[in-house]
Amino acid sequence: MLKSVLALLRRDLRLAIRHGGESLMPLLFLFAVLILVPLGVGPGPNLLSAIAPGMVWVAALLASLLALEGLFRPDLEDGTLEQWWTAPAPVGLLVATRLFSHWLITGLPVILFAPLAAQMLYLPDHALPVLLLTLLIGTPILSLIGGLASALTLGTKRGSVLLSILIFPLVVPVLIFATGAVSAVADGLSPRAHLGLLTSLLILALALAPLATTAALKLNVE
Amino acid sequence: MIPQFEFAVFVWTSYAIFAIIVAWQIFQPILRRRRLEAEIREELALSQGEYSNDPHP
Amino acid sequence: MIWQKIKVGFHKLGSPPIFYRLCQVLSPWLWAGFAVSLVIGLYYALYVVPPDYQQSDSFRILYIHVPSAWQAMAGYLVMSILAVIALVWRIRTTEIMAMAAAPIGAAFTVICLATGSIWGRPMWGTFWAWDARLTSMLVLLFIYLGIMGLYAAFEDKRKGARVACILILVGLVNIPIIHFSVEWWTTLHQGRGISFVGESTMDASMKPPLIWMIVATKLLFTAALLDRSRNELIDQDRRKGWIRRKLGASV
């Protein structure tokens, strides 16, 4: 069981490394957004530091949307996805593994480069650890919700437009609590309540999203 | 007959929006049903070899 | 004995011809009930009820705004119950009904949003405020649109309905969270300056039209739901014998 999970993880990561340029697209996209915003609203430090948490988060959200199209579709087209039901590991676990590798490819680079982004937007230094913490808790939720939405749209012809409409309402709470935590700490308040609520969202998403994703995949494979 | 209201513009626009959307809810099913019935009737007629109603002979 | 009869009657509803017949019989009565309660409600709302001492006549928007908001949410609940039945027992008529409920719920959400922002103009001085209730209604609208879009994107209607039913349940889990988070967000970002006045403390004379309008929207929802479901059933079963017999007889 563990063997097949590890095999799937190894295959996903190897593919991501082989397609180096493609895997870096979300990160490049993140920085494209972060560079365009100051050009749009002006380089004033006060305004930029006020909108920094929201901007980093919106950019991270948009970046996570990019890789969703290739999350299950190639496997559906070459028939690998059907093999998941004959694998020795339960399908839910394989789905969770695939979502974990999606997070490693799109979420982790964003967290690693977030300090640089925060500097570019003049985020106060003492708010940086909290920003990283919210990204650490929040980006897995983005991967889970994104995985669910891409599983739902798997059977359709053009999923990508639909994908963003499906994801937008579901990520509203994540965005609110994550940026709320960073803004609170930037204003000198305690971010604990926000972080606790964000963590409970993560637990809820971890418990329910793989179930719903598996059900949606099953319907689409049938 | 029509009551005089303060803020009349806002009140009547709201009620007009309500009326339009409710009317759409009423007429959409009726129109769709008519279209479907016409389509099915045409299919039936064609399958029975009855071409007298066919608009494109 | 009686339970057995109820159970059999319930199972019969899963059969398309019987469901079709039921819609055909019930729908005119529901439309009639809607018309009656709408006329009474509008008469009270526009003629009988005196102007509010704070908001003057603009509060009359409440009589369409509040029932629509209620129905938008109650419609989602109805849709979710249908979705659970559809996913667990795989009854095709409930799948069709769940899908038919989405556009009607979306219509009520649009009414609620439009009248809410029009009401906001004289009260708040702006058409759109990031008020907690308006914002969560906007998100609800997008959930409805997502369900409709997902269903429409599938070639195979049954598969589309099942997948959309999963999305309905995901939305059901999310709506309370979204509402709570948006409320939290607005209370942090703005003071309690903006809020509807006089909604919680309502005079008794203001209530009858509200009740009539709520009844009217409920009947409208049910009637439109049955009509739309019947149309969808005709569309999907157009090549089947029972539809041909039913419609062929009227040629």
Q: Is C153's CB within 8 Å of A216's CB?
A: no
Computed over every residue of chain C, the mean pLDDT equals 86
Query: Is residue C198 pLDDT above 70, yes or no?
Result: no
CB of A148 closer than 8 Å to CB of A213 = yes
Confidence of residue C192 (pLDDT cuts 50, 70, 90): very low
Model pLDDT, residue C232 = 92
Q: Which residues in C lie closer than 8 A to residue B28 (C-beta atoms)?
A: 228
Angle, helices C16-43/C241-248, rounded to nearest 10 degrees: 60
Q: Percentage of chain C with pLDDT > 90?
A: 48
CA dist list (Å): B19 to B15, C33, C38, C111, C127: 6, 17, 11, 10, 20
Distance from C-alpha of B35 to C-alpha of C248, rounded to nearest angstrom: 15
Query: Taking an 8 Å Cβ-Cβ cutoff, which residues of chain C contact chain B?
Result: 31, 46-47, 51, 56-58, 60-61, 64-65, 68, 104, 107, 110-111, 114-115, 118-119, 121-122, 220, 224, 227-228, 230-231, 234-235, 238, 243-244, 247-248, 250-251
Model pLDDT, residue B1 = 64
Closest-CA distance of chain C to residue A15, Å:
29
Distance from C-alpha of C226 to C-alpha of C229, rounded to nearest angstrom: 5
- Do chain B and chain A touch with ≥3 beta carbon pairs under 8 Å? no
Which chain B residue has its CA at the smallest distance from C32's CA? Answer: B26
Q: Is A173's CB within 8 Å of C154's CB?
A: no
Q: Give one DSSP letter per residue of A123-134, joined into a string.
A: --GGGHHHHHHH
Q: What is the ipTM of this complex?
A: 0.89
Q: Which two tokens stand for residue C238?
A: 């157009």
User: Per-10-residue mean pLDDT for chain A, 222 residues long?
Assistant: 86 85 82 88 84 88 84 87 86 91 89 89 88 93 93 83 89 91 85 90 92 91 80
Q: Which two tokens stand for residue B54?
A: 């066919």
Residue A153, number of CB atoms within 10 A of its CB: 30
Of C150, C159, C170, nearest to A162 by CB-CB distance is C150
Q: Coil, strand or helix: which one is A188?
A: coil
Lowest model confidence (mean pLDDT) among A185-194, B21-30, C87-96, C157-166 = A185-194
Q: What's the one-letter identity of residue A56?
A: V
Model pLDDT, residue A48 = 86
